[in-house]
Every structure is written in structure tokens, then in C-alpha cells.
Amino acid sequence: MTSNHSNAESPVSGSHADGTGCVPGTLYVVATPIGNLGDISARALDVLRSVALVAAEDTRHSQRLFSHYDIRCDCIPYHEHSEEKTAQRVINVLLGGDNVALISDAGTPLISDPGFRLIQQVQDRKLVVSPVPGASALIAALSVSGLATDSFMFAGFLPAKSSARKKRLESFAVYPHTLIFYEAPHRILSSLQDMAAVLGVTRTAVIARELTKRFETVRKGLLGDLVEWVAADSNQQRGELVVLLEGARREPGKDELQRILLTLLDELPLKQAVRLAANISGVKKNEVYALALTLADS
């Protein structure tokens, strides 16, 4: 069935590269809700209702969305075990002049989801890929985090094993920009514990859980406090999770740290001055303490 819906028509014009005269279709990458079904766009609904084929990460999961909006479509699975077979069918449909939509279980496709190989193969055939933007868990979480948004990095899922996870986190130890991770509920506590161990219990972090859903929770605090909070409440170890970390603070030079310490030592006892200087500078407390002793002796 060839689509004739104006909002989903392919922008491609001219004859097909193989000389058949057939205008190829467009592959639409369609964002779907991350929880609240009301978050889908009118354009996304138009596209899903008009395309000849929908490639979905999990067709059973997507059926809830289709049923809610009375979308009747030919839907096939697209995941790591069906990539090659599905990609070939998608390309054949596009070459035949019909449009196709790619969707994931939730949010914007290809963000920690399969699909980039399909995009590559479609582009290799000089066919058009067009985004239909919408919900994205990482952007939704960042927007309510209260952390810096001018520069950030999405790092996907951390490794499942603690040793590999810590090694990965060590590579971010001095990264100055906001970090964003997805995490599985059964690993959230151990991941937070490893973050605190590697990056320090005083690093500010945000846990965004079940965004747009009934039990939505956004909690901001120091990593050490968040570890205790999640450990004490099993409900926080359920659902879809995004973890955001404040970027590493720039460590001051020795002269700047010395100036901070001298100012504090003029007004406070040594231990209190050291604690505050460490919090202000981000330098390890034992290093600040050693410098404070040297200054006190002199």
C-alpha cells in the first residue's frame, strides 16, 4: 500500500537510481512516549497511521500505543537478532516507493537502542532518513536536573560488572561536564555505590526515575546521601532510571588553595578549615590537611 498522507510523504523527488522511475519512500525515525501516552506528537501519529510498514524494537510492547490511538499497521520486529532480515525488508519497501517508520520501546529510537545499522544501510542506498522528534528520557531528565545543561555527555549504560564499571567511571573522574547514564533497576544501588567510591561521596548527582509515569521521582543530592536513600527504599530500585552526575570541579592551583586555606584558618579551627577548603576546592581532604599543617608550622 502506497502512502498518500501529506504529512508523511517522502521528500525525495526524481526517478529511482535503478532507472525504474519509481520514487523511493522515506524511513521515518519516530519518537514515541517514554511513559505518558499523551506525549506523542500529532505528526508522529500521522506518520504511524500512514506508513506501509513499522519496524519496532518489540512489537508486543508497541501494541499498547497502537491500541490506544487505534493505529492499524503492518508491524515487524527490529532487534539485534532480526537486524539483517528486517533491514532487507525495510529497504525493499522503501525501494518500492512506500514509507517506513522505525520506533523503539520508548522515546527516541537509536538512543541506547538498536537501529543504527539499519540507518547506515538505508543511507548507503542513497535513501532518505527523516526524524520525527519527540520524547527522550535523557533530555527530559537533564531538563529537570538542575545541573549544567550547556555541555553534557550521554554515556549510555555502564558495564554490568563492578570492576569494569569502576574502570569506566575512572575515565570520567575529571570530566568537567554533566554526565548522563541509563541504568537497570537491579543495578542502580551497586552503580551508585561504585560512583561514590570512584568519584567521591560529595559529587552532586540526580536520580530521575519513571519519568512521565505515575511514580515519577526526581531526587538530587550528594552521591553518598543518594546511596543511603536508594538502599533504604526498595521502591527506588524499580522502573526506568536515568542518573546524572555533576561535572568535576576544576581543582585550584596550589597558590589558590593556599589562599583559601589561609583565609579559613584565620577564622576557624584547623579541622573545620580543612573540611571547608576541601569542599570548596574539590581537592582530597588528606591533601588539604597536609598543606594546612605546613601552613600552620610556618
Average pLDDT, the chain: 89
pLDDT band for position 20 (cuts 50, 70, 90) = low
Structural contact between residues 49 and 225, judged by C-beta atoms closer than 8 angstroms: no
Note whether 143 and 229 are same-domain residues: yes
- pLDDT score of 3 more than 70: no
Compute the distance between CA of residue 293 and CA of residue 270 in angstroms, rounded to an integer: 8
- Same domain for 180 and 214, yes or no, is yes
- Find how far residue 263's CA is from the centre of its chain: 42
- State the CB neighbour count (10 A cutoff) for residue 267: 9
Q: Please give the helix or strand (H or E) that residue 281 lies within, else none.
A: helix 270-281
Place of cell 561535572: 247
pLDDT digits (tens, 9 = 90+) for 285-294: 888 888 888 8
- Answer whether residue 123 is part of any domain: yes
118, HSE (Cβ side, Cα atoms, 13 Å): 35
- Of 72, 101, 135, the residue that ends a domain is 135
- Calculated CA dihedral for residues 29, 56, 145, 156, nearest 10 degrees: -90
Domain that holds residue 26: 6-135
Same domain, 155 and 189: yes
- The mean pLDDT of 151-168, rounded to a whole number, is 96
Is residue 277 within 8 Å of 260, Cβ to Cβ? yes
How does residue 180 score in pLDDT terms, banded at 50, 70 and 90?
very high
Which residue in 126, 185, 193, 125 sits closest to 165, CA to CA? Answer: 193
Cα–Cα distance for residue pair 83/288, rounded to 1 Å: 55
Quick count: other Cβ atoms within 10 Å of Cβ 16? 16
pLDDT digits (tens, 9 = 90+) for 107-126: 999 988 878 899 999 999 99
**Beta strands at 204-209 and 217-222: parallel, antiparallel or unpaired:** antiparallel
> Do 212 and 289 belong together in one domain?
no
Q: Cβ(115)–Cβ(102) under 8 Å?
A: yes
Q: 3-state class of 129 per DSSP? A: strand
CATH code, domain carrying 29: 3.40.1010.10
pLDDT digits (tens, 9 = 90+) for 214-237: 999 999 999 999 999 999 999 999
> DSSP assignment, residue 149?
-
Per the structure, the count of domains in the chain is 3
Report d(CA 137, CA 34) in Å as an integer.
7
pLDDT at 149 over 50: yes
Please check whether residue 295 is in contact with residue 261, taking contact to mean a CB–CB distance below 8 angstroms. Answer: yes
* Residue type at position 49: R
Banded pLDDT at 19 (limits 50, 70, 90): low
- pTM of the predicted protein model: 0.77
pLDDT given for residue 250 in this prediction: 67
142 and 125 inside one domain: no
Do 106 and 60 share a domain, yes or no?
yes
E-assigned strand segments in 14-160: 26-30, 53-56, 75-77, 100-103, 128-132, 152-157
Same domain, 215 and 95: no
Which residue matches cell numbers 537533564?
142
Cell of 120: 547506515
Q: What is the pLDDT of residue 214?
A: 95
